[in-house]
Amino acid sequence: MSEVLRLAYEASLAFRQSLPERPVGARATLEELRAALDLPLEEQGVDPARVITELARDAEPGLVGEAGPRFFGFVIGGSSEAAVAADWLTSAWDQNAGLYAASPALAVVEEACARWILELLGLPRASGVGFVTGCQMANFTCLAAARGEMLRRAGWDVERDGLQGSPALRVIVGDEVHVTIPRALRFLGLGAGRMVRVPVDGQGRMRADELRKVLAAGEGPTIVCAQAGNINTGAVDPLDALADACVAHGAWLHVDGAFGLWACAAPDRRHLAVGADRADSWATDAHKWLNVPYDSGIAIVRDARAHHAAMTASASYLIQQEGAARDAVDWVPEFSRRARGFALYAQLRALGRAGLAELVSRGCAQARRAAEGMARIPGAQILNEVVLNQALARFTPPGGGDADAFTRTVVERVQADGTCWLSGSTWRGQAVLRFSISGQDTTEADIDRSVAAIERAARV
Ligand SMILES: *Cc1c(COP(=O)(O)O)cnc(C)c1O
């Protein structure tokens, strides 16, 4: 075996084996990392074996144990062995995934993944599916299809004529919209500042009665962005009622479901997302709850023709296969691109339908266990209905005092302690500790050990 590849393989194994017991957060400071890594670029190249040895050594203290069992920050999940192994193959194979001709195997693997995902999530089987870098680009892709189709219905070809002089397009969102939606609207020329916000309920869900009022107050082509999985509470918008309102108004319904859409794949959580299949487009992630390594997002559009029209890059020098073969370039914003379908394929096969359902239900059960554990800590209060994989806690100092400041202190102490890693957030103007479960290696013992670390941090 090549010495350089062997060194990388051994360093990868050593890192992954250290995950269960290594401090979860990074240990090095910014200054230390700069001193170790931000070197002058040498005139003459360095021996690759030395480059890899030193990279593994010098990066390690600045790595975060996101792939380990006690990382509970940002809802960003771990990575399974099957998916990481397939990802290694992907790098070694070095396929350009843009065109069928450049990687027939990848094109067929993506077809299979697309079919499996539509089946697992219970979405219309004829939908277009694109494999993008993450939910940010999935939102962008879906909203590009929505923009094109809604303007086409209003007699305007945005792909040809752009937005200058086009009919106005209304975009309606819930007040708890994820920041990647306005960012996608900026990229699409629709303007982040033009979103119309709909009030939400106490868990952050868009209120269907309020949506109906907003829809009735305007007219013209309209896109509604709903959410499955609030990044704080985990709550899913009332999709069935939102779909009713959109149908009545002829509006496009998009669902941002980076992690929460996976509720559809678990029989005991599916009730949360009833009506999800009635939307027009869905954005989700495989690198969060599905435990595929970065980067892996999925854009799904019911009207495959609208999806294709928004993304296709037909140019004469491209070898376009007649018939059924899939050119990925037609479904995503990227041109040349990583063959990220292989890792997703490996993970879906390794899990199977039952394994995926179990992964989702187990994460939700563990969130309830974390919430129950934290609720027993003196001064702690749980702020959300723990319906999915999220638990929000707030801490009042023993003897009373500033709960915002104390909650932030608890988060800092937990991060410094290293037993687990989770982040602070703000929920309804209050500082909170957010416990998000999405790693597939997390056990009940990991939850209990982490709750014990939080309890220690909440003592004065
Ligand atoms: C994480 C997240 C996103 C963004 O996903 P990326 O994969 O980071 O691009 C969008 N929406 C929601 C609800 C999320 O949780």
Average pLDDT over residues 37-65: 96
The b/e string for 124-138 (b: 16+ C-beta within 10 A; e otherwise) is eeebbbbbbbbbbbb
Over residues 65-82, mean pLDDT: 93
- pLDDT bucket at 320, cuts 50 / 70 / 90: low
Distance from residue 234's CA to the centre of ligand 1 (Å) = 12
pLDDT reported for residue 317? 54
Report the pocket of ligand 1 as residue ranges, CB < 6 Å. 75, 134-136, 178, 180, 227, 229, 231, 256, 258-259, 285, 297
Q: Is the pLDDT of residue 227 over 60?
A: yes
Atom of ligand 1 nearest to the CA of 137: 9
For ligand 1, mutation pick of 136, 139, 255, 295 (most atoms within 8 Å of CB): 136
If DSSP codes are grouped into helix, strand and coil, which group holds residue 416?
helix
* Confidence (pLDDT) at 1: 63
Cβ pair 310, 147 in contact under 8 A:
yes
Ligand 1 centroid, distance to 417 Cα (angstroms) = 28
Instruction: Specify whether the CB–CB gap between 148 and 159 falls below 8 A.
Output: yes
Closest residue (by CA) to atom 2 of ligand 1? 258
> Mean pLDDT across the stretch 74-88?
93
The reported pLDDT for the residue numbered 319 is: 52
227: three-class secondary structure by DSSP: strand
Task: Report the residue count for the chain.
Answer: 460
Q: What is the pLDDT of residue 325?
A: 86
Mean pLDDT of 237-243: 98
| pTM confidence score | 0.96
In the chain, where the domains are located? 3-68, 86-348
- Residue 135 Cα to ligand 1 midpoint, Å, equals 5
Dist. CA 131 → ligand 1 center (Å): 14
Task: Determine the distance separating the centroid of ligand 1 and the alpha carbon of 36, expressed in angstroms.
Answer: 32
- Computed over every residue of the chain, the mean pLDDT equals 95
Distance 385 CA to ligand 1 centre (A): 21
| Cα 450 to Cα 113: distance, rounded to the nearest angstrom | 35
Q: What's the CA gap between 387 and 168, in Å, rounded?
A: 38
Atom of ligand 1 nearest to the CA of 259: 15
- Average pLDDT in the 302-309 region? 95
pLDDT tens-digit readout, 400-454: 899 999 999 999 999 999 999 999 999 999 999 999 999 999 999 999 999 999 9
* CATH number for the domain running over 86-348: 3.40.640.10
321 pLDDT band, cuts 50/70/90, is low
Q: What is the pLDDT of residues 155-196, one digit of tens each?
A: 999 999 999 999 999 999 999 999 999 999 999 999 999 999
- Which strands make up the sheet holding 281-285, listed edge to edge? 128-132, 297-301, 281-285, 252-256, 222-227, 170-174, 196-198
Cα torsion 135, 140, 143, 149: sign: negative
Contact 244, 215 (CB under 8 A): no
SS3 7: helix
Q: How far is the CA of 50 from the centre of ligand 1 (A)?
A: 37
| pLDDT of 354 higher than 60 | yes
* C-alpha neighbours within 13 Å on the C-beta side of residue 126: 4
Distance CA 262, CA 198 (A): 24
The atom of ligand 1 lying closest to the CA of 287 is 7
Report in angstroms the alpha-carbon separations of 369 from 188, 197, 372: 42, 34, 5
